Amino acid sequence: MTLQQAPTHADGRQPLERSLPTDFYLIDELLTDEERRIRDRVRAFCDREVAPIINDYWERAEFPFELVPRFAELGVVGGTLQGYGCPGMSSVAWGLVNMELARADASVQTFYNVHSGLAMISIAMLGSEEQRQRWLPAMARMEQIGAFGLTEPEHGSDSVRLETSARRDGAHYVLDGAKRWIGNGSFADLVIIWARDDDGKVGGFVVEKGTPGFEAEVMTGKIAKRAVWQADIKLRGVRVAADNRLADSRSFRDTTRVLTATRSGVGWTALGHALAAYEAAVAYTGEREQFGKPLAAFQLVQEKLAGMLAEITSMQLLCLRLSQLAEAGKMTPAMASLAKLNNSRKARQIVADARDLLGGNGILLEYHVARHFADMEAVFSYEGTDHIQALLVGRQITGIQALS
């Protein structure tokens, strides 16, 4: 294990050896060189380019567009996808990318996840070869940005009941309806709108920027993920070519295949938030003195830090195994749900504990924990709420559908 010296304290107390806080079980040893290289590249990008600017964007609720071209240079867009200019990285590497981005900032990670995950995976998984060739290379280069429009004002957890319609009209479909919470939706070049056709079957329809009848308004007043934009979308007689329907999107079951594929990334994302908050808490409690000694010297504080590390270590092992299963084609939807449920719950507690350990400074953006604390609330609810994940796992355990 890598060891480092704690700083000598002014009162002459002996410095202690302590372990670097976040790899207690030497999980780094289980990664390939390539996975470590990708993680380190993303971490360096985050340290250099995201961390210094993000609090300001978060506070102003502005999206840091300046970072968009930098993603293309990082070589991580498209994640595990092969070909079409995508990096074809391992599932573990893709998880590490999500973890590192979240460790830096949830908004930046969400932008990446919506574009490179939800939108590109929909096209890769459900598009024809012609559709993949048409859209994926430009998306991999970040010349075209994607969005994923499933949630509606009246249908969140029950998006299976979505009402947006796609009426066939000769060589076109005509879309009518509304979408809500659509990340990147106000500026994306391609928005995949999930809508119900004349036969009641759900399909994914690619709406290209500038199509008449498509209106998107940025949602305001958020207390989480303030530096990334979600849109309220209105679709009024939006005509798209029949060729814009993703060829293999024939039912809601196909939509859920995409959601399962991206859900494992949420487990890694929650881990990233937990790591950031824990690292900040370890650093802060080592420095801040009360009653004449560092906070870290109090038993109650050490107990809290130990509990946080225990949870982080279990989250790391769970993520690694889940991604190995995904790589081997053995990950089931319930396995992905279990990771989202478990890691979101744990990370939510860890960011709250870290916020507590920073005292009043825990609510100041300057100390970074406050942002993770607020952002984790959105992670807890999006891509399927905690209840919904529990019900999906519960169905697997009991064989009984309790979701509806």
Please give the residue ranges that form the binding site for ligand FAD (CB under 6 A). 114, 148-151, 156-157, 181-183, 225, 230, 378, 381-385, 387-388, 391, 403
CB of 382 to ligand FAD, least distance (A): 4
Pair 359, 289: CB distance under 8 Å: no
Query: Which stretch of DSSP H or E encloses residue 235?
Result: strand 230-241
| Shortest spacing between CB 36 and ligand FAD, in angstroms | 30
Q: How far apart are CA 349 and CA 88, in angstroms?
A: 34
Q: Confirm if 225 and 107 have CB atoms less than 8 A apart.
A: yes
Alpha carbon 376 to chain centroid distance?
10
Q: Give CA–CA dist 70/322, Å, rounded.
A: 29
CB of 107 to ligand FAD, least distance (A): 9
**Three-class SS state of 301:** helix
Find the shortest distance in angstroms from Cβ 390 to ligand FAD.
8
CB of 181 to ligand FAD, least distance (A): 3
Phi and psi at 290, nearest 5°, equal -140, 150
Short-list 128, 32, 38, CA closest to 77 = 38
- Alpha-carbon dihedral angle through residues 149, 154, 160, 166, given to the nearest 10 degrees: -60
* Cβ proximity to ligand FAD, 27 vs 61, nearer residue: 61
**CA gap 96, 37 in Å, rounded:** 10
Cβ proximity to ligand FAD: between 153 and 307 the closer is 153
| 398 close to 387: Cβ distance less than 8 angstroms | no
197: β partners: 166
Cβ closer to ligand FAD: 184 or 316?
184
User: Which residue number, 294 or 384, has a Cβ lying nearer to ligand FAD?
Assistant: 384
For ligand FAD, which residue has the nearest CB? 156
Of 94 and 181, the one with the shorter C-beta distance to ligand FAD is 181
**Opening angle at CA 98, ends 97 and 104, nearest 5:** 95
CA atoms within 13 A on the CB side of 21: 22
Sole residue written with tokens 């409690």: 285
Q: What is the nearest approach in angstroms of ligand FAD to the Cβ of residue 252?
A: 13
Q: How far is the CB of 183 from ligand FAD (least distance, A)?
A: 3
Q: Among 82, 392, 91, 384, which Cα is nearest to 259's? A: 384
- Cβ-based nearer residue to ligand FAD, 117 or 127: 117
The least CB distance from residue 261 to ligand FAD, in Å, is 15
Give the residue among 300, 308, 257 at the shortest CA–CA distance from 281.
Answer: 308
Residue closer to ligand FAD by CB (options 191, 335) is 191
Quote the least distance from Cβ 119 to ligand FAD, whole Å.
9
Whole-angstrom distance, CA of residue 317 vs CA of residue 256: 25
**Closest to ligand FAD by CB, 281 or 339:** 339
Residue 314 or 385 having the CB closest to ligand FAD: 385
